[in-house]
Amino acid sequence: MNFSKLRVALDGPSGAGKSTVAKAVAAKTGLIYVDTGSLYRTVGLYMAQHGIDAYDTEKIIAALPKVDIKLTYEDGQQCVSLCGEQVGDKIRTEQASYYASAVSKIPEVRAFLFEMQRSLAREGGCIMDGRDIGTVIMPDAEIKVFMTATAEERARRRHKEQREKGIEVSFEEVLESIIARDKQDSEREAAPLKPADDAIEFVNDGYTVETSADYIIGLMKEYLGAKV
Site of interaction with ligand DC (CB under 6 A)? 14, 36-37, 40-41, 100-101, 104, 130-132
73 versus 98: smaller Cβ distance to ligand DC: 98
Cβ proximity to ligand DC, 131 vs 144, nearer residue: 131
Contact 18, 12 (CB under 8 A): yes
Q: Residue 14 Cβ, how far from ligand DC at the closest point, in Å? A: 5
Please report, for residues 37, 153, 207, 210, the alpha-carbon distance to residue 149 in angstroms, rounded to integers and kept in the order given. Answer: 19, 6, 10, 15
- In whole angstroms, the minimum distance from the beta carbon of 126 to ligand DC comes to 13
Question: What is the Cα–Cα distance from 5 to 205, expressed in whole angstroms?
Answer: 30
Supply the minimum distance, in Å, between the C-beta of residue 5 and ligand DC: 22
Residue placing its CB nearer to ligand DC in the complex, 1 or 38 = 38
For the chain, strand residue ranges (E) read 7-11, 32-35, 69-74, 77-82, 85-86, 126-130, 143-148, 200-203
Choose between 93 and 175: whose C-beta lies nearer to ligand DC. Answer: 93
CB of 6 to ligand DC, least distance (A): 19
